[in-house]
């Protein structure tokens, strides 16, 4: 009698897979695609893969992918400290791959770490390794590390942290931004060793995963190439754009440090004109679909001068003048300008019981200060306007002696107050008729007009944080101007030439005698409104014809 041999049971029920691990890769790893990666594995020798079905509501499922091999994942069994990004030749950590029955290549070499061909994921950090030592069955000590790769930070990892080897065994699912914050339901229809034995959808319990959209919230790198150039007589901040699929914008602040500095601009391009000296800060900025604002680390530059002055028409400092302009919701205090108190203290029935009378009712949320100075350029011209200002965000609780536990205060220097307040200079321009157009937000530029007025708009989003302006200086710079006359007859008694309109200061005057004789001398007396000229020969006035030109502003 002859035996029939081994007959595989293709319909044997498939074993259950292990619980999957979900990874949200950065855009640097996916070339800008929003994805979820899944690490799936099953019992070695009895499991040959699974089909992945996904639902947004837990009821209606669609097949999204198929798994044909086990991923290599497990746990960290000896912790890993934080580090600087890049090569870390000092640290190592232990990995236990018993869960997936996986194996790591033995010491793939430094090149594998440097080129990330041994890429792994450990609790939010992507890293690569160059050396492994087998310390027990499916246990490895991993070293020669390349930390904080693909936009992630080199974090500290405790024992029992999940570890995943990132390779082509991972399931890569492309998702849409609209799913951020939504819970996805995943069913794995496993196959037995022979590719059969799959259960039905109704027989499988789903795994639930809430999609965070972490690719959108990964921090940006620091802005590089931050410097200045002069463009159209204004100093302009320039920088190298950050290369990231999210195409971030840039936030510029002015102040002593990033946290306390006031936001003065948010731009998409790589240039920003300034007109005030000081310390400028910049960081890449992105508003994620979740509403979360992502920043890169800030970079700073100190600017000493901000504009090339041609002809200084007028420059005035409101602080030095005592803030004599019109205040609406603002008030000068101790040489500075700030938002006024919101409450009416005169109506308080228990004034002596108030903890603070200086900011009664908290600060107003907004106010304006209008300068009393109106600049008259004497004629309609292309004026170059510069406004230098400085401000700080001041809390009503800034008395350090009232802090119960100084060491426990997470923001003792109030570095987080800066973005709470805003300060916007504005300008109004009138032509020769003196009728001013509406106020407009100021930007360093050339303004066409004859009359110019200035004001500040102060605001805070927190009634306990005040916007305190410590300096406001306005500089009006006007272009060169020339006036001239030809074949002008000068009598023996002289002539008077009047400029229309007058110059702001007495200009340079040049006279050319067209029909002169030996001994002729032109005597000139000049002012901002015109000049007189007399032609003398041997001390006596003579009649002559002249050309003249006056240059100034």
Which segment of 72-76, 99-103, 328-332, 365-369 scores lowest on mean pLDDT?
99-103
Residue 405 has pLDDT above 60, yes or no: no
Query: What is d(CA 308, CA 232) in angstroms, rounded to the nearest whole number?
Result: 9
Residue 358 pLDDT greater than 80, yes or no:
no
- 536 is written with which tokens? 């003398």
Radius of gyration of the chain (CA): 37
Work out the pLDDT band at 345, boundaries 50, 70, 90: very low
Rounded to the nearest 10 degrees, how much is the dihedral formed by the CA atoms of 161, 167, 171, 176?
Answer: 90
End-to-end Cα distance, the chain: 121
pLDDT digits (tens, 9 = 90+) for 43-90: 988 999 999 999 999 999 999 999 999 999 999 999 898 888 899 999
Residue whose entry in the numeric block shows the structure tokens 């390794």: 129
DSSP string, 351-407: GGG-S-STTTT-B-SEEEEE-S--EEEEEEEEEEEEEEEEEEEEETT--GGG-S-GG
Number of C-alpha atoms within 13 angstroms, CB side, residue 196? 6
240, 245, 249, 254 alpha-carbon torsion, rounded to 10°? -60
In percent, how much of the chain has pLDDT > 90?
A: 58
d(CA 34, CA 27): 7
Per residue in 197-239, pLDDT (tens digit) is 999 999 999 999 999 998 988 888 899 999 988 877 788 999 9
Residue-level pLDDT at 398: 53
- At 496-506, the pLDDT tens digits run 999 988 988 89
pLDDT single digits (tens) 502-543: 988 899 999 999 998 999 999 999 999 999 999 999 989 999
**Rounded CA gap, 352 and 281, in Å?**
44
C-alpha of 105 from chain center: 42
What pTM does this model have? 0.68
Range scoring the smallest mean pLDDT among 136-140, 219-223, 399-403: 399-403
Q: What is the pLDDT of residue 414?
A: 40
Residue 487 φ/ψ region, left for φ over 0, alpha for ψ in the -120 to 50 degree band, beta for the rest: left
């Amino acid at each position: 009698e002859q035996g029939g041999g081994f007959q595989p049971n293709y319909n044997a029920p498939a074993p259950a897979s292990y619980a999957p691990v979900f990874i949200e890769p950065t855009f640097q790893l996916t070339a800008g695609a929003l994805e979820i990666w899944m690490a799936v594995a099953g019992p070695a020798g009895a499991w040959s893969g699974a089909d992945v079905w996904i639902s947004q509501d837990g009821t209606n499922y669609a097949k999204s992918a198929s798994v044909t091999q086990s991923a290599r994942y497990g746990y960290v069994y000896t912790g890993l400290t934080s580090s600087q990004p890049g090569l870390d030749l000092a640290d190592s950590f232990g990995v236990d791959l018993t869960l997936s029955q996986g194996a790591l290549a033995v010491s793939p070499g430094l090149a594998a770490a440097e080129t990330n061909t041994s890429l792994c994921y450990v609790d939010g950090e992507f890293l690569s390794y160059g050396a492994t030592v087998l310390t027990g069955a499916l246990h490895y000590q991993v070293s020669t590390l390349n930390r904080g790769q693909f936009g992630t930070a080199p974090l500290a990892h405790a024992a029992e942290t999940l570890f995943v080897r990132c390779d082509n065994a991972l399931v890569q699912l492309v998702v849409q931004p609209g799913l951020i914050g939504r819970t996805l339901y995943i069913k794995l229809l496993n196959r037995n060793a022979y590719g059969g034995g799959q259960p039905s959808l109704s027989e499988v319990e789903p795994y639930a995963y809430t999609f965070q959209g972490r690719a959108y919230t990964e921090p940006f790198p620091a802005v590089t190439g931050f410097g200045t150039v002069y463009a159209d007589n204004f100093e302009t901040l320039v920088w190298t754009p950050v290369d990231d699929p999210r195409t971030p914008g840039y936030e510029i602040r002015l102040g002593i440090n990033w946290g306390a500095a006031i936001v003065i601009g948010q731009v998409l391009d790589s240039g920003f004109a300034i007109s005030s000296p000081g310390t400028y800060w910049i960081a890449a900025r992105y508003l994620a679909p979740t509403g979360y604002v992502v920043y890169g680390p800030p970079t700073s530059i100190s600017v000493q001068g901000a504009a090339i002055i041609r002809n200084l028409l007028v420059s005035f400092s409101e602080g030095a003048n005592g803030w004599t302009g019109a205040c609406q919701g603002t008030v000068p205090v101790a040489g500075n300008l700030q938002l006024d108190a919101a409450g009416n203290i005169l109506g308080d029935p228990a004034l002596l019981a108030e903890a603070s009378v200086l900011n009664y009712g908290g600060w107003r949320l907004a106010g304006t200060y209008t300068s009393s100075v109106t600049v008259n350029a004497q004629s309609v011209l292309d004026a170059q306007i510069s406004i230098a200002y400085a401000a700080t965000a001041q809390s009503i609780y800034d008395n350090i002696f009232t802090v119960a536990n100084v060491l426990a205060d997470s923001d003792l220097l109030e570095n987080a107050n800066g973005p709470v307040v805003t300060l916007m200079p504005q300008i109004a321009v009138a032509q020769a008729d003196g009728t001013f157009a509406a106020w407009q937000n100021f930007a360093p530029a050339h303004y066409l007009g004859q009359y110019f007025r200035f004001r500040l708009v102060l605001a805070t989003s927190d009634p306990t944080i005040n916007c305190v302006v410590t300096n406001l200086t306005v500089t009006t710079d006007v272009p060169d101007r020339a006036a001239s006359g030809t074949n002008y007859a000068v009598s023996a008694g002289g002539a008077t030439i009047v400029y229309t309109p007058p110059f702001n200061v007495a200009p340079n005057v040049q006279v050319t005698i067209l029909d002169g004789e030996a001994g002729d001398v032109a005597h000139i007396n000049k002012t901002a409104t015109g000049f007189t000229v007399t032609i003398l020969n041997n001390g006596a006035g003579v009649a002559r014809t002249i050309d003249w030109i006056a240059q100034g502003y």
